[in-house]
A and B are shown apart, each in its own frame.
Chain A
Amino acid sequence: MNFNKTITYTILALCGLVMVIPFIWMVTTSVKSQIEVNKGNVGFLPIEEYYTYTEGDKTYRLTLVKTEGDSSYVHLFNEKWERVSSYKKIPNTSIQANRKFKLHFENFVEAFNKVPFGRYFLNTLFVSLSVVLGVIITGSLAAYAFATMRFKGRDFIFYLFISMMMVPQPVYLIPSYIVLNHLGWLNTYQALIVPWIANIFTIFLLRQQFKTIPRDLFDAASIDGCSRFKTLWTIVLPLSKSVIVTAAIFGFIGSWNSFMWPLIMIDDPELRVLQVGLSYFSQEASTQTALLMAASTFSILPLVVLFLIAQKQIIASFASSGLKG
């Protein structure tokens, strides 16, 4: 039995390592110097290997050009790898090999300043929070109607909604593009927010929750002269906190990570969201591995932090999407 447990843990740990290796490598590469990366120093440790030459009280880094007998022709560089002299002839014995562990946090600063990532962060945050707010408002109103009110064609409309959950996003893309273009909304925040504030999955999730609330409560409220809005606000919503949090988490993660939609709807660099900005950056800086890794790291950081804080809730939310689907 214990043997079985050991095997289970070993397999889980090994496969877990495989799952997170890309992230570990991303972080370790993001603090390497680009020169080391280009030299093919691919491993996980941000170690720098270089040769130095000391002349008087000054130490230079160097690259070898050619060795002739006891001496070599070298290029000399300063600390920042800026060339200070070329084809200098120095004796071989004065060349020293160095290995140094150094973290280049300046990659983060450089990546952040190269492209207006601050602006992209704010855009994304604004869009995501607006979508979450919209989703919760429309979702609870619609779910309240579906769950508690009786009107003609209610079930038909509900099942129509549900069946639309199956329609893949690319099918919406072109009609939405044409409609948004017609409204003059392309290149506006509305294009990123308005089409997403009605979410069928949220309506479904909230309806299932609202149905579990005893009818007596609604009857009592209406006898006491409580309006429908007031009932929703003071009775139904407080009782549905955990489902609302679930819906908010889904909305936020989905909106934060969405890429194809903003890529198509937004041209204006000022309105770019993080994912689109990152995508353009990856084309511009395709050879600057360390910077790309730094940019990737800080762009996934907010969600990873959110995930680590609320992992129980988030995993439970995702798991519930399967049980009810």
Chain B
Amino acid sequence: MVPILLSFIVSFFDWTVLGPGKFIALQNYAKMIHDAEFWQSMINTFWLVIIVVPISLVLSLFFAALLNGIKKVKSFFRSVYFIPTVTSMVAISIVWKIIFNQQTGLANFFLEKIGIDPLAWLAESRGIFQLLFANFGIELPSWLGGPSLALFCIIIVTIWKGLGYNTIIYLAGLQNIPNVYYEAADIDGAGRIKQFFKITWPLISPTTYYVLMMTTIVTFQVFSQVYLMTGPPVGGPLGTTKVIVYFLFEKGFGESNDLSYASAIALVLFAIILLLTLLQKKLEKKVHY
């Protein structure tokens, strides 16, 4: 609890590396409310979380269900899906940055093979919805554009990196469901899809809550991929990949070295995560089997 208390104290002062300045009460928080950059990084972070969490959840449950259904080479596939989880974010960010390179990247190489015009990927500030609709000749205003394509690249890498862990967790959950339920359902003539929604999904819900919570918390703290993949300047085209933890890093340890402002940002992040966790806990109680 000490770090949190200390964070509060620091956030009330005008604190730099040189030491505590004068007491400025809530000025840091007031500054945050009027800081357009803060709001943009908040919106970017929300896009990241809102897209990463459900996709990761569905994909990992899907893979876990497939893995649970096979016996041969199961551990081989499990390991293949798991490798991104144990490798360092720094190295794979460098690799993905080159994959998304416009001239020498693998992404455009594949697009060329299937006859699609190359994209600017990490250098593209236009939103993905905007790009999508532009294909059909519809021009969306930028506020409806959604996350930029550059942020979408970060989203892809974040999902890819976390998928193995979530799959393993789901697989462990699936293996805990006794087979007799499925045998009984087979006898009653329930199909695979029905079995999934009537048996698997309800019984796996504790795992789902765990995966949901962990993925949300981890995704709110994305930093390395943004730091390494976007830029220069870091934060992507027009700041569209700047996420909250990178914003905190820039304020606290960049040129301005404003530790107290960074502290205030960290506490806001903590408050959001705490709130979401409590909300999920409440939801979990309502639908617990």
* B266 lies within 8 A of A293 (CB): no
Question: Does A315 sit within 8 A of B, measured CB to CB?
Answer: yes
Question: Does B114 sit within 8 A of A, measured CB to CB?
Answer: no
Q: Can you list 28 A-B pairs with a CB-CB distance of less than 8 A?
A: A8-B66, A12-B77, A13-B77, A19-B163, A23-B95, A160-B1, A167-B4, A168-B270, A171-B4, A171-B267, A171-B269, A172-B3, A173-B262, A175-B6, A175-B263, A178-B15, A257-B87, A259-B90, A295-B94, A299-B90, A303-B87, A307-B86, A311-B79, A315-B75, A318-B168, A322-B169, A323-B173, A325-B214
Residues of B within 8 A of A (CB): 1-4, 6-7, 10, 15, 17, 63, 66-67, 69-70, 75, 77-92, 94-99, 101, 103-106, 108-109, 160, 163-165, 168-169, 171-173, 176, 207, 210-211, 214, 217, 220-221, 223-224, 227-228, 245, 248-249, 252-253, 259, 262-263, 266-267, 269-270, 273-274, 277
Asked, given contacts A38-B104, A175-B3, A289-B98, whether A322 binds B273 with beta carbons under 8 Å apart, the answer is: no
Most buried by B among A20, A42, A181: A42
Closest Cβ neighbor of B67 among chain A residues = A12
The B contact surface, by secondary structure, is helix
For the complex, what is the distance from the CA of A25 to the CA of B100, rounded to whole Å? Answer: 12
Closest Cβ neighbor of A16 among chain B residues = B80
Q: Which 5 A-B pairs have the closest CB atoms?
A: A322-B169, A175-B6, A42-B109, A319-B172, A296-B91
For the complex, what is the distance from the CA of A281 to the CA of B157, rounded to whole Å? Answer: 21
* B70 lies within 8 A of A9 (CB): yes
* A168 lies within 8 A of B104 (CB): no
Asked, given contacts A20-B83, A40-B104, A279-B227, whether A315 binds B78 with beta carbons under 8 Å apart, the answer is: yes
For the complex, what is the distance from the CA of A244 to the CA of B44, rounded to whole Å? Answer: 40
For the complex, what is the distance from the CA of A22 to the CA of B70, rounded to whole Å? Answer: 26
Query: Hey, which chain B residues are within 8 Å of A296, CB to CB?
Result: 91-92, 94-95
Query: Hey, which chain B residues are within 8 Å of A314, CB to CB?
Result: 82, 86
Interface string of A175-210 (1 = CB under 8 A from B): 111110100000000000000000000000000000
Query: Hey, which chain A residues are within 8 Å of B96, CB to CB?
Result: 22
Asked, given contacts A12-B77, A22-B99, A279-B227, whether A171 binds B86 with beta carbons under 8 Å apart, the answer is: no
Closest Cβ neighbor of B72 among chain A residues = A9
* A170 lies within 8 A of B104 (CB): no
Closest Cβ neighbor of A163 among chain B residues = B1
Query: Hey, which chain A residues are within 8 Å of B207, CB to CB?
Result: 322
A298 CB, min distance to chain B CBs, angstroms: 9
Asked, given contacts A22-B99, A160-B1, A311-B79, whether A304 binds B87 with beta carbons under 8 Å apart, the answer is: yes
Asked, given contacts A15-B63, A160-B1, A178-B10, whether A257 binds B88 with beta carbons under 8 Å apart, the answer is: yes
Query: Hey, which chain A residues are within 8 Å of B108, CB to CB?
Result: 42
For the complex, what is the distance from the CA of A271 to the CA of B7, rounded to whole Å? Answer: 27
For the complex, what is the distance from the CA of A202 to the CA of B7, rounded to whole Å? Answer: 25
* A315 lies within 8 A of B168 (CB): yes
